[in-house]
């Protein structure tokens, strides 16, 4: 029987890659994004969108600063029909002025409350006594940062005292990716896929979860990642807890290794699951892995533009039904509000649409979708997550396909 990625020796160390820094977003792309959001603002009758989520700010400005990681002096951005303004602490001015930008900038001296006040004062000055319709990026799949003074001030300024969610309007633009974005995603997937293969080769029976996790996390950066949130790497024989941080648990024969990556390239994340088995699998395990992989790929190839997310879900449910008997993965229980077979992604690990029965978003060319059915059976876990770019005539996989046979860590 063929085995893959086998090793008993972790002494070979990590591997430094030569991948270049991610490119700046072309000015033409930034111009198109701004044109698109203004079109959607007009359609949704919005005069102002206030951005507080780092991904939204980066999407429209391509501005990146390590100061984002401090809560005391946050960034904000305001979009109107004629303005794109970045708000930052005063010490950021030298960095902003370092090169030409596609946005204007205003600076506050102080902390979050002073920043919020500057945003509100600027909106007031732009509209000069008029009452604009204002939305802020709090909503589905967005983690906007702000403050109660910001919310209260914007509500007082907005039509009817109604501060709206900008999330639906923003996703109308962000969920359609350009080829430039798709290539950044392709690179992010390659970084993480390689990191898994490179470290599984070095794994051994007896290694701890946190040792393997540290190696994988470090290898993603050596492969060219520009950021990498912590991600799960777990060993199990049936007690899978998918959000659990790595522990001192040691790898044993029969364990399955499950990992789900988070690293980014150019700000675009790689949400890609990978698995491996410790020791030789039984024939039923090889057969089950192949069946899960085959169904996952068949499912991906069945998706076309014009379908709704709920229709995509129905196709997956039909394909997956023969495998689902005895599946212990609780989140796939019928009737669950969170049940789905996959989701969109881009700068965020998870984006709209949600490929579940309650989402009726139409699948469009330019979306990046993930298909990730998971099967737990007799202590094993089988998952072959695939991600692809939707085109007019079909799909373009952005990742190397999952291995034809489950990777094995030798005893």
pLDDT of residue 5: 43
Q: Which of 285-289, 320-324, 366-370 has the lowest mean pLDDT?
A: 320-324
- Measured between its terminal Cα atoms, the distance across the chain in Å is 15
CB atoms within 10 A of CB 230: 10
CB atoms within 10 A of CB 156: 12
In which band, very low, low, confident or very high, does the pLDDT at 392 lie, cut at 50, 70 and 90? very high
pLDDT of residue 219: 96
Q: What is the pLDDT of residues 235-262, one digit of tens each?
A: 999 999 999 999 999 999 999 999 999 9
pLDDT of residue 333: 63
Q: What is the pLDDT of residues 258-290, one digit of tens each?
A: 999 999 999 999 999 999 999 999 999 999 999
CB atoms within 10 A of CB 100: 6
Reference 304, options 236, 380, 362, 379; nearest CA is 362
What one-character-per-residue DSSP string does 339-375 give? --SEEE-SSSSSEEEE-STT--PBP-TT-EEEE--EE
pLDDT of residue 86: 98
- Given 3.60.110.10, 3.90.230.10, 2.40.40.20, 2.60.40.1180, which CATH number is that of 179-409? 3.90.230.10
Q: Which residue has the higher pLDDT, 324 or 241?
A: 241
pLDDT of residue 291: 95
Distance (Å, rounded) from C-alpha 2 to C-alpha 153? 65
Q: Which residue has the higher pLDDT, 143 or 102?
A: 102
At residue 324, does pLDDT exceed 60? yes
pLDDT of residue 52: 97
At residue 9, does pLDDT exceed 60? no
Distance (Å, rounded) from C-alpha 60 to C-alpha 102? 9
At residue 345, does pLDDT exceed 50? yes
Report yes or no: 122 and 105 within 8 Å, Cβ to Cβ: no
Q: Which residue has the higher pLDDT, 39 or 323?
A: 39
In which band, very low, low, confident or very high, does the pLDDT at 331 lie, cut at 50, 70 and 90? low
Report yes or no: 3 and 406 within 8 Å, Cβ to Cβ: no
pLDDT of residue 146: 79
**Domain residue ranges of the chain, discontinuous segments joined by +:** 47-165, 179-409
Residue 8 DSSP one-character state: S
Place of tokens 């979009």: 79
Mean pLDDT for the stretch of residues 56-66: 96
Q: Is the pTM of this model over 0.85?
A: yes
Q: What is the pLDDT of residues 194-239, one digit of tens each?
A: 999 999 999 999 999 999 999 999 999 999 999 999 999 999 999 9
Mean of the per-residue pLDDT values of the chain: 93
CATH class of 47-165: alpha beta
pLDDT of residue 3: 33
Check residue 227 and give left, alpha or beta (phi > 0: left; psi -120 to 50: alpha). beta
At residue 2, does pLDDT exceed 90? no
Alpha-carbon torsion, ordered 333, 346, 395, 169, to 10 deg? 80
To the nearest 5 percent, what fractions of the chain are helix, strand and coil?
A: 35, 20, 45
Residue 22 DSSP one-character state: P
Q: Which residue has the higher pLDDT, 28 or 336?
A: 28
Quick one: 192 exposed, middle or buried, by C-beta within 10 A (0-12, 13-18, 19+)?
Answer: buried
């Amino acid at each position: 029987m063929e085995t893959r990625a086998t090793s008993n020796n972790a002494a070979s160390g990590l591997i430094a890659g030569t991948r270049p820094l991610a490119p700046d977003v072309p000015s033409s792309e930034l111009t198109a994004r701004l044109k698109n959001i203004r079109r959607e603002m007009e359609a949704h009758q919005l005069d102002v969108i206030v951005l507080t989520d780092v991904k939204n700010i980066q999407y429209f400005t391509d501005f990146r600063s390590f100061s984002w990681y401090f809560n005391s002096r946050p960034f904000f951005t305001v979009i109107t029909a004629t303005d794109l303004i970045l708000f930052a602490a005063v010490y950021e001015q030298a960095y902003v002025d370092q090169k030409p930008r596609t946005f204007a900038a205003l600076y506050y001296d102080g902390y979050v409350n002073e920043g919020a006040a500057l945003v509100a004062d600027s909106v007031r000055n732009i509209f000069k006594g008029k009452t604009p319709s204002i939305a802020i990026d709090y909503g589905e799949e967005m983690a906007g940062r702000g403050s109660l003074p910001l919310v209260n001030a914007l509500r007082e300024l907005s039509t009817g005292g109604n501060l709206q969610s900008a999330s639906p309007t923003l996703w109308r633009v962000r969920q359609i990716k350009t080829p430039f974005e798709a290539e950044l995603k392709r690179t992010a997937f390659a970084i993480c896929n390689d990191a898994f293969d490179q470290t599984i080769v070095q794994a051994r029976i007896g290694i701890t979860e946190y040792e393997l996790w540290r190696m994988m996390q470090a290898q993603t950066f050596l492969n060219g990642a520009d950021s990498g949130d912590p991600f799960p790497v777990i060993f199990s024989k049936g007690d899978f807890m998918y959000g659990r941080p790595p522990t001192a648990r040691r790898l044993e024969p029969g364990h399955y290794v499950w990992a789900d990556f988070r690293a980014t390239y150019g700000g675009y994340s790689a949400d890609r699951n990978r698995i491996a088995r410790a020791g030789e699998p039984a024939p039923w395990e090889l057969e089950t892995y192949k069946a899960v992989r085959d169904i996952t790929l068949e499912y991906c190839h069945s998706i076309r533009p014009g379908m709704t997310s709920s229709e995509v879900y129905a196709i997956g449910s039909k394909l997956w039904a023969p495998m689902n008997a005895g599946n212990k993965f609780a989140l796939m229980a019928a009737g669950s509000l969170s049940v789905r077979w996959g989701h969109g992604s881009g700068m965020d690990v998870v984006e709209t649409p949600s490929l579940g029965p309650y989402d009726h978003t139409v699948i469009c060319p330019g979306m990046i979708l993930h298909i990730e059915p998971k099967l737990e059976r007799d202590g094993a876990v089988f998952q072959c997550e695939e991600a692809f770019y939707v085109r007019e005539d079909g799909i373009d996989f952005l990742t190397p396909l999952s291995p034809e046979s489950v990777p094995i860590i030798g005893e």
